[in-house]
Amino acid sequence: MDVFEAMQRRKSVRSYRGDLADPDDLQKILHFGMQAPIAMGRYEDMHITVVSDLAVLEAFEKHQSDLQGREAHPFFGAPQVIVVSIKPSEPEPLNMEYANGGFVLENMSLAATALGLGSCVIYGVFRRAESKPELFDLLDLPEGYQVLGGLALGKTDERFELRDEAHRMGTTFLD
């Protein structure tokens, strides 16, 4: 599958069989995530955590459920979540630091699609976890890093049809 086809087939998958990506496929996905462009080439300011420990995912899920007052499944039953963290150079991350994580996540989701695996970019649950910061201790991040978002990953029964629709974004041509 070439990159054009992967972009057309990629979609947010929100139903998973429950079994993990094969280890070789996971390695490929991580490899392509690390091929992403990173501002000023500061790859050392990025950190990736592969969470396959369901107890960790459940702790984040439980917090969101408590906040919402109803059972929530923000990872949609994915058996694995690849969490992308950044080491901001200032207390508030800079725009390029937010962007860095997005590029890593997009590369990984395209790679997952090409391998026939389901994936979904997940930010909401991590933002909600900011009201219970000790949750982030479960991720055992190196000093100074903070979570940007994650990619739910796993085998799925969903099909990856070619999607032709162009999402409409306002576009201006200045000629």
Ligand X SMILES: Cc1cc2nc3c(=O)[nH]c(=O)nc-3n(C[C@H](O)[C@H](O)[C@H](O)COP(=O)(O)O)c2cc1C
Instruction: Point out which residues bind ligand X (CB under 6 A).
Output: 11-12, 120-124, 149
| Interaxial angle between packed helices 95-114 and 23-33, expressed in degrees from 0 to 180 and rounded to the nearest 10 | 150
Min dist CB 174 to ligand X, Å, is 26
Q: How many CA atoms within 13 Å lie on the side-chain side of 139? A: 28
| Closer Cβ to ligand X, 27 or 124, answer by number | 124
| Closer Cβ to ligand X, 26 or 74, answer by number | 74
Min dist CB 92 to ligand X, Å, is 17
Min dist CB 122 to ligand X, Å, is 4
| Closer Cβ to ligand X, 143 or 164, answer by number | 164
Rounded CA-CA distance 7/144 in Å is 33
- Comparing every residue's Cβ against ligand X, the nearest one is 124
Rounded CA-CA distance 12/117 in Å is 11
Min dist CB 23 to ligand X, Å, is 25
Please name the residue ranges forming H helices in the chain: 3-9, 23-33, 54-68, 95-114, 124-128, 134-137
Q: Can you tell me whether residue 175 is helix, strand or coil?
A: coil
| Closer Cβ to ligand X, 22 or 58, answer by number | 58
